[in-house]
Amino acid sequence: MGFSLAGLAAQTPAGSGLRGAATSAHPGRDRLREPPSRRSGCPRGSGGAEVSCVMLIHVIQPSITKNLIIGSHNGGYRRRTPFGARSGRCKIYSWFQRKEPTCQQVYGLWNSARLQQTGMLPRSGTDADAASVREVFMKLGYKIKINNDLSCGDIFKLLKNVSEEDHSKRSSFVCVLLSHGDEGLIYGTDGPLELKALTSLFRGDRCRSLAGKPKLFFIQACRGTELDSGIEADSRSDETMCQKIPVEADFLYAYSTAPGYYSWRNSAEGSWFIQSLCKMLKEHARKLELMQILTRVNRRVAEYESCSTRQDFNAKKQIPCIVSMLTKEFYFPC
C-alpha cells in the first residue's frame, strides 16, 4: 500500500516565518517541527528554506510511480585505517586498491506504472526523490543508469541479472527502492512483489562475488496503514577472519518507516526519508560512518510533522527503521 496526501505543499520549518497559506493546488502542507532552540530559524545547516530539487524526469501517466536505483561500487576507496586495522572492536570494510581508473555504477530504474490494476494513486514528488538520489550518488563517484516502466517480473529479472554479474572487482552494492508498498512488499506496475524475493538474490550463497561485501538497500515505501500521532517528551540534555560467513551477513536495510506504518511524501518536494537521507549524505558522507549518518537521518525525519486540511492526516509523525547485518563499519569513498 502506498500513501501520499494529495494536499501536501512545500516542506516548511515550523516557526520560520514561511508557513503562509498553501497554494490552491496543494491545500495542505507538511512541516519540519524544530526543537525550542531552533524554532526561530530553519534546520541547522540548511541556510534557509528547503532547497527544491529540479525534476529530471516527468511522470505523465496517472498511476503508480516506482523508482529502483541499483548500484555497485568498484574499488578505489581510500581506507580510513591501515588494512586490517581495528576501529575499536569493529573492523572497517576494506576497499580494493587498483592501479587502473575505477568505475562506480548505479543502475537506475524509474518505474511509472501504466496500468490501473493495483488501484494505487500516482506517487507525486517521487521524481524529486530520484533526482536527489541521482545527484548525491553522482557526487560520491557513481554513474547513474535509469530504466522505465517495469512490471514485477521485469524488476525481478533485472535484479537477478545484476546479482549474476561478476562483482569481484567491486567493493559494495547499493539499491534504492521508491514505490508504494506494504509490510514485506514493494509494488511494480502490475502489483506487489515480495522484498525478500529481491534481496535474497544477493545472499552470500547466491551472489558469491558480493559475499563479505556490504549490500545496502534504501527502501522508500509504506509498510502498512497505521499513522504515528507522536507524543510530547521532555528534552535531555584485530580479529581473526572467519573462513565461513552467514549467507545473510553484510546486508543493511534502511526502511523509510517503522513496520506497519505509512511513509510520508510531499507531492512537490519528495519524501521525508529520501530527502533527509540525501541531505545527510551530502553533509556527512565524506567523514562519518554509515550508521552515524543514518542516525542523523532518523533524527531529521522524526522532526517532520504532517500538516493537512484532513484532520485524520494532520500532525502525524514518522521514524525510519534501520536493520543492519553489517559486520564492519562502512565509509563512502573520499
> Are the C-beta atoms of residues 270 and 176 closer than 8 Å to each other?
no
* Assigned domain for 219 exists: yes
3-state secondary structure of 143: strand
Band of residue 43 on the pLDDT scale cut at 50, 70, 90: very low
Helices (H) and strands (E) in the chain, counts: 5, 17
- Tell if the pTM clears 0.85, that is, is over it: no
**Which of 180, 207, 278, 307 is labelled catalytic?**
180
* Assigned domain for 155 exists: yes
* Secondary element (H or E) of residue 72: strand 65-74
Burial pattern 94-107, b for ≥16 Cβ within 10 A else e, equals: bbeeeeeebebbbb
* Assigned domain for 74 exists: no
Stretch among 48-62, 177-191, 282-296, 318-332 having the lowest mean pLDDT:
48-62
* Assigned domain for 91 exists: no
Does 239 score more than 80 pLDDT?
no
Domain containing residue 126: CATH number: 3.40.50.1460
pLDDT tens-place string over residues 13-27? 333 332 333 333 333
Closest alpha carbon to 120 in 188, 67, 68: 188
* Assigned domain for 84 exists: no
Asked if 180 is an active-site residue, the reply is: yes
**Which of 152, 222, 278, 307 is labelled catalytic?**
222
Look at the chain and report how many structural domains it folds into: 1
Band of residue 84 on the pLDDT scale cut at 50, 70, 90: very low
* Assigned domain for 202 exists: yes
* Dihedral angle of Cα 20, 25, 28, 32, to the nearest 10 degrees: -60
Domain containing residue 122: 105-228+247-325
Regarding predicted confidence, which is higher, 239 or 261? 261
- 263/218 Cα distance (integer angstroms): 13
Does 246 score more than 70 pLDDT?
yes
- 303/318 Cα distance (integer angstroms): 8
3-state secondary structure of 139: helix
